[in-house]
Structure 1
Amino acid sequence: MLIIGLTGGIASGKSTISKLLKRMGAKIIDADIEAKAVTKPNTPAWEELVKRFGEEILRVDGSIDRRKLGNIVFGDDEKLNTLNNIVHPRAIERIEGKILKFKTGNKYKVIVLDAPLLIETNMVDLVDEVWLVAVDQQTQINRLMDRDNFTKEQAKARLQAQMPLEDKKKVADEIIDNTGSRRQTREQILSLWQNKVGELN
């Protein structure tokens, strides 16, 4: 069994690659989904978040509005650390449990942990290899402006708040260049899959 940690900066196209790997037969563990699970209404993490940041972070149905919360903590290291300390340990615990379950079941050859903050949260220890999705900064800015209606300044600020791509490259075992066409990206993934998963047969 091979456990891959799939990561990349904001608007790098990581989700698209995760879907490709799923179609090839990998079992995906999505760190964002696990983080949402531990912050459902009336969970301990939800209660802590509401206590720390106020009821203005809630939607009408009581769920947390992640965009509102993100805007509150963005640019404020103390608030961001508070958020991370509440959510990350609980999410990582769920992820560890899922990895153990899938390893024990021995049903899958490949598990992919899809995690934007794989390196920053020290989840690298949970995986065998780190695959980094990389695009140039201008591509990220353009995608953020198109996808999230950010201004150029807002997009640049989001990028500057992240761990630099060059630092992530130092940790990565494989780098997937996602600046080209979908076909080019798919060919890279197919080649990696054949090389890595073929060795497991």
Structure 2
Amino acid sequence: MRIGLTGGIGSGKSTVAALLVARGAVLVDTDAIARAIAQPGGAAMPALAAAFGADVIATDGGLDRARMREIVFADTGAKRRLEAILHPLIGAICEQQAAAAEPTATLVFDVPLLVESQRWRAIVDRVLVVDATEATQLRRVMARSGWSADAVRAVMAQQAPRNARRAAADAVIFNENLSLDELSTEVDSLWHHWGSHVQPG
């Protein structure tokens, strides 16, 4: 079974991913892949440098992610150019990692922009959305990243609204005021339910 896992920034999606891995799932993390290909010597760096110039290259030769965020937030055309470079590379590496897993494994594709990209709906069997209120998202991200409220809101504005994510979901975990134990219980319930209703394929 292929599970597409998504949620807004600060929703707790990464924690849910870790809980699924603890239950035996194989994680394919698109954010981690995106970071890897934009590191010094990464597969995306030549194309990124050609498309955006030296302005987005950090002193170590990797992508200056903060500068890239500024450009993308200010220019939708730049966002499309960035996605045209990254998405095919990320997709190819996702499939490589999926192919390397055991044939009977449950695969969890952690995709922050699953709803926005649409192509993922045809790739996964089930969509799991981790949801939280926007106020909670804001508080969590500010606490962990040190970003300003405006910076967090800018990222949230680039993501699908909560109602669109929930509408695309086969299941929603509302991660609001849940302890880690309570969140783990929610994941357990879903893991057993889906495991008993969907054959690996």
Superposition TM-score, scaled by structure 2 size: 0.89
C-alpha distance 111-166 of structure 1, shift in aligned 2 (>3 A): same
**Alpha-carbon distance in 2 for matches of 1:157, 1:60:** 26
Distance 2:147 2:97 in 1: 35
Q: Which amino acid aligns with 2:182?
A: Q
Superposed, which structure 2 residues align to 1:34-183 within 5 Å? 34-42=33-41, 45-102=44-101, 105-108=102-105, 110-121=106-117, 122-181=119-178, 182-183=180-181
User: Of 185, 188, 191, which aligns to 2:186?
Assistant: 188
TM-score (norm 1): 0.89
SS at match of 2:130: strand
In 2, the alpha carbon distance for the partners of 1:15 and 1:127 equals 18
Query: Is the 2:57–2:63 Cα contact (8 Å) retained in structure 1?
Result: yes
Identity of aligned residues (%): 32
User: Unpaired segments of 5 or more residues in structure 1?
Assistant: none
Provide the secondary structure at the position in 1 that maps to 2:116.
coil
User: What amino acid maps onto 1:159 in structure 2?
Assistant: M
Instruction: Please list the CA deviations of residues 10-31 of structure 1 after superposition, one character each: whole Å capped at 9, or x if unmatched.
Output: 1111111101111111000001
1:65, 1:56 → 2: CA distance?
Answer: 8
After superposing on structure 2, the runs of 4+ consecutive aligned residues of structure 1 that deviate more than 6 Å are none
Task: Provide the rounded CA distance (Å) in 1 between the counterparts of 2:63 and 2:192.
Answer: 41
1:9 and 1:116 in contact (8 A); partners too: yes
Count, aligned residues? 197
Q: Distance in 2 between matches of 1:23 and 1:43?
A: 29
Give unmatched runs, 5+ long, in structure 2: none
Provide the C-alpha distance between the structure 1 equivalents of 2:158 and 2:74, rounded to a whole number of angstroms: 7
Contact kept? 2:127, 2:171, Cα under 8 Å: yes
Give the secondary structure class of the aligned counterpart of 2:87: helix
Instruction: Quote the Cα distance in structure 2 between the aligned partners of 1:152 and 1:45.
Output: 30
Amino acid in the other structure paired with 1:112: V
Q: What code does the residue aligned with 1:17 have?
A: V
Secondary structure of the structure 2 residue equivalent to 1:120: helix
